[in-house]
Structure 1
Amino acid sequence: MTAGLGMLLAAAAVQVTAAPQASAADPGCWRDTCIGKSAAAMNCDDDAEVLDQFDIDTSIEVKLIWSQMCQATWAKVAIDPGYTDDPVYGQLWTTPTLGGIEKVYTTPQLGAGNPSEVTLMGNWKGTSKACWTSKDPSTEGDWDPVPLILEPGTGIMGAYTGACTDWI
């Protein structure tokens, strides 16, 4: 047997006996069935992509994330563990494509012990944005931090503390 033929047969044997590549787990939900569920628990974070993101100095990072496999979106908000200026909550705001009532999913308050949190998911077929806010939803309700609002008693338009990605 020639050296060339021996190398070819050895290469073929390696190809036949090589273990198959591991594939990503099947998604546990799709579009509407993902609403209000965890991206990690549904394997939607396997193909996660950042659609939009912004940073507030080096203190706060906000990301709007989506999964093509699940057709779902969620928000991820992270803070510098030493950040103490305002309370920080992450939010995913969603609205149906043709309009309707906004739905919001909020993370627990971020802090030194949990500097990064993700929200539950929304349906990609709607419109979504990721936000951070300093307003505690358990005591102050759900306030979209981006629209201008009338400051009580002043007549001055201002914004709640927080910021959002663009609606996508």
Structure 2
Amino acid sequence: MRTRSWGRVGAAVALLSLSQILATPPASAAETAGCFRSACTGKNPVTMGCDADAQVLEQINQGNDIELKLVFSPACGATWTKVSVNPLYKYPVWAALWQMPTLGGFESPRPTPSITSTNASDVSPMGDWKNTSKACWNGLKDAWDPEPLLYEEGGRVVVTPLVNGNCTEWI
């Protein structure tokens, strides 16, 4: 009798173990991500694996020429900007992820390289999703915000109209 009950127990343990192995899901995006939140700041979302679960928070298009996305990765807890231009578009475009502390402070950019017809798409370095973020593009220069909340120059507040560019909403 004793052998038989141990046999059933052993079979039950083996079956339970096998069911655990078979029920194990494949590696999730969180397990393949190379960084999390502030550790992602300044890093490339593609090389860090953060694009595996990327979600577009907001997208704006400038006709058929420019596509700008504010992107978020839950696994990495990070945001970034992705910009693409039509290869026939003949002007350079600069884009950046703009962030500021959620409780206030100064905004700071994480710019992409210049986007041209030969380099038609790129991403900005990432920033911690805990900061307030927006994505912007412009046709003037690197790290230029075409829609600042407040722009100061020489210690004075300067009113700036929208100049050659566009931004997503602050999120």
TM-score over 0.5 (shorter chain)? yes
Aligned partner of 1:167 among 149, 160, 170: 170
Q: Which amino acid aligns with 2:162?
A: A
Cα distance 1:80–1:29, how it changes in 2: closer, same or farther (>3 A)? same
Following superposition, the deviation at residue 147 of structure 1 comes to 3.4
Q: How far apart, CA to CA, are the structure 1 residues paired with 2:84 and 2:45?
A: 17
Q: Which amino acid aligns with 2:107?
A: E
Aligned to 2:110: 105
Instruction: Please give the residue correspondences for 1:54-133 in structure 2 after superposition, counting only pairs within 5 Å.
Output: 54-84=60-90, 86-133=91-138
Aligned to 2:144: 143
Aligned to 2:13: none
Following superposition, the deviation at residue 110 of structure 1 comes to 1.1
| Seq. identity, % | 44
Gaps of 5+ in 1: 1-15, 150-154
Aligned to 2:7: none
Q: How far apart, CA to CA, are the structure 1 residues paired with 2:102 and 2:161?
A: 27
1:127-155 CA distance string (max 9 Å, x none):
00011111222xxxx32111387xxxxx9
Following superposition, the deviation at residue 72 of structure 1 comes to 0.2
Q: Secondary structure at the match of 1:55?
A: strand
1:158 and 2:161 matched: yes
The alignment of Structure 1 onto Structure 2 pairs a total of residues equal to: 144
Q: Secondary structure at the match of 2:32?
A: coil
Q: TM-score, normalised by structure 1?
A: 0.76
Gaps of 5+ in 2: 1-18, 152-157
Larger radius of gyration: 2
Following superposition, the deviation at residue 37 of structure 1 comes to 0.5
Following superposition, the deviation at residue 26 of structure 1 comes to 2.2
The two structures, once aligned, show a CA RMSD in angstroms of 2.6
Q: Which amino acid aligns with 2:163?
A: Y
Q: Secondary structure at the match of 1:91?
A: strand
Q: How far apart, CA to CA, are the structure 1 residues paired with 2:144 and 2:160?
A: 15
Q: TM-score, normalised by structure 2?
A: 0.75
Is this contact kept in 2: 1:49–1:67, CA < 8 A?
yes
